[in-house]
Amino acid sequence: MKKIIISVLVFGLSMTTFSCEKDYLDATPTGSIDAASAFATTKNANAAINGIYRAMVVRYLGSQGHFGHPAMMIILDVLGEDLVFGNSSNSWHFGEGRWQSHRSDQGNLARLPYEMYYRIIGNANLAIANIDNAIGDQADKDRIKGEALGLRAFSYFNMVQLYGKRYVAGSPNTQLAVPLVLEPTKEGLARNTVEEVYTQINKDLAEAAALLKSSRTAKSHINFEVIRGFQARVALTQQNWASAATFAADARKGYALMSEAQYQEGFAEIGNSEWIWGFDHLEDQSEFFGAYFSYISVNYNSSVNRQTPKCINSLLYNKISPTDVRSKMWVKAPTAANSIAPPGGVRVPYMVQKFRLPGTPSTSTMGDIPYMRAAEMVLIEAEALARQGKDADAAKVLFELTKKRDASATLSTNTGASLIEEIIFNRRIELWGEGFRFTDLKRMNQALDRNGANHNSGVAVIFDVPAGDVQWEFLIPRRELDSNKAMVQNPL
């Protein structure tokens, strides 16, 4: 852990733009510089916060396929049953999809979230520990601290879902999760329990909510509504249905759901009215073949997109109404006339059309990336209401979304388990490719089931994983076990 969490920031970034990697992160141990000086002013601290956000979107492990948090978004859907590889011509993320990489202590997927989120946590800790003594306006100090607390909570929430067992409301949740590192340190710490980690996440988010306002300079930064969105996600995972519904409703205030025309524009523009939080890419900050759109878009000319386009689970797609605009996000029988592909790219059944960069073919290398949308909050609110038995209210909230996606949609008359199933169906097609399916299956204690769909047995390899199986837990990286004697491994 000491190698992971003690990286520090080199400042010099503007509040709304990011510089290239060498300009903002340095692997020098904290003992070699004065961290307090780095946070001596709010101007410096603003640059520090920019550096933390930028750490979400760089390559880790020296691998182009592990481009920070956006890579995790793709991979967490690859781990589920709804994102399908079009063929076997390009093998990026096959090990992840086969449930091999996260079950090896030296696998890329065991390492990527551990190293990335602890880097974010370590730098957030520096901000939290030092910002109160910075020179500058109190409002700026409050905002910076609130953002740092939000980033720390966001990171721990991602990690506890991967490295720990699922949270079970009403139980002690004493199963091991990850170490809670809450201040700058070089010491390896023991793993905290799942309950302890969630308690800290909620504490950080409550404090951040009290410090942050709705106003901000850019959607790339966390504000009050983003914190409410985090709280909604956490409450849903903890089966705290009443809080999940309330937080989700607060998070989406002021964010209009997309029209059908907007829905077909490519999911690459942070200015979209529905986006609450996202990565705002600048054209001169390219990751080329490591970027999110290099692995999932319909028109960026990467070998992955040309050779192995991403597809939707055929069983899921065939349930979508043809009048629903979301049915146009994939093409069941693609041709040159009805679908977009990169130059020389293959077309395969059920291939994606959802993510598209400007131009055909695109001359861009990266687009903006959606981290949180109002549609997700609608679905959280609807699910949380339905799980409380408030079926009429849940159906009404769900209809806010479905009527925007399908002019022929009607208010659902489903109740109970059938209504929840309808909400989850909408969640699966609405949030496809945005990184929710693996954690959704885990939080609902459902099995992985890829049978009967368009998965290639030679590519997917694994088709069934029972709910609660040890394979739902990521292994702790070997390098952490070797350097931290207080660390213990998950069940093999």
Q: Are strands 464-465 and 25-26 parallel, antiparallel or unpaired?
A: unpaired
Residues 144 and 60 in one domain: yes
The band of 8, judged by pLDDT with boundaries at 50, 70 and 90, is very low
- pLDDT score recorded for residue 282: 73
- pLDDT score recorded for residue 362: 59
In a domain, 62, yes or no: yes
Rounded Cα distance between 196 and 180, Å, is 8
pLDDT in tens, 294-352: 999 999 889 999 999 999 999 999 999 999 999 999 999 999 999 999 999 999 999 99
Share of the chain above pLDDT 90, in %: 85
pLDDT at 396 over 70: yes
Residues 11 and 148 in one domain: yes
Residues 6-19 have a mean pLDDT of 32
Residues 286 and 151 in one domain: no
Q: Which domain holds residue 186?
A: 1-212
Domain containing residue 147: CATH number: 1.25.40.390
Residues 176 and 296 in one domain: no
Residues 178 and 63 in one domain: yes
- pLDDT score recorded for residue 366: 67
In a domain, 255, yes or no: no
pTM: 0.93
Residues 178-193 have a mean pLDDT of 94
- pLDDT score recorded for residue 62: 87
Biggest distance spanned by C-alpha atoms of the chain = 64
Look at residues 166, 188, 212 and tell me which one is the last residue of a structural domain: 212
- pLDDT score recorded for residue 185: 85
In a domain, 256, yes or no: no
pLDDT at 373 over 90: yes
Q: At 12, list the tokens.
A: 């010099």
Q: At 177, list the tokens.
A: 């999760």
Look at residues 212, 230, 248 and tell me which one is the last residue of a structural domain: 212
Q: Which residues of 59-91 are buried (b: 16+ CB within 10 A; e: fewer)?
A: bbeeebbbbbbbbbbbbbbbbbbbbbbbeeebe
**Arithmetic mean of pLDDT over the chain:** 91
Q: At 304, list the tokens.
A: 């992955």
Contact between 384 and 248 (Cβ < 8 Å): yes
- pLDDT score recorded for residue 281: 81
Cα first-last separation, the chain = 21
Residues 163 and 37 in one domain: yes
Rounded Cα distance between 131 and 116, Å, is 23
pLDDT at 6 over 70: no
Residues 468-492 have a mean pLDDT of 97
Residues 208 and 307 in one domain: no
pLDDT in tens, 45-84: 999 999 999 999 999 998 889 999 999 999 999 999 999 9
What's the Cα-to-Cα distance from 379 to each of 236, 274, 358, 376, 428, rounded to whole Å?
Answer: 11, 13, 29, 5, 10
The band of 233, judged by pLDDT with boundaries at 50, 70 and 90, is very high
Count of structural domains, the chain: 2
In a domain, 122, yes or no: yes
The band of 21, judged by pLDDT with boundaries at 50, 70 and 90, is very low
Handedness of CA 88, 91, 92, 94 (dihedral sign): positive
Look at residues 367, 400, 418 and tell me which one is the last residue of a structural domain: 367
pLDDT at 449 over 70: yes
In a domain, 441, yes or no: no
For residue 483, report the phi and psi dihedrals to the nearest 5 degrees.
-100, -15
pLDDT in tens, 265-309: 999 999 999 999 999 987 656 666 668 999 999 998 899 999 999
Residues 154 and 292 in one domain: no
In a domain, 240, yes or no: no
Residues 156 and 289 in one domain: no
Share of the chain above pLDDT 70, in %: 90
In a domain, 299, yes or no: yes
* Nearest CA among 330, 296, 299 for reference residue 313: 330
Residues 9 and 92 in one domain: yes
Q: At 259, list the tokens.
A: 């029209």
Residues 162 and 43 in one domain: yes
pLDDT at 32 over 60: no
- pLDDT score recorded for residue 18: 29
Nearest-Å Rg of the Cα atoms of the chain is 22
Residues 20 and 152 in one domain: yes
In a domain, 120, yes or no: yes
pLDDT in tens, 107-145: 999 999 999 999 999 999 999 999 999 999 999 999 999
Residues 437-465 have a mean pLDDT of 98
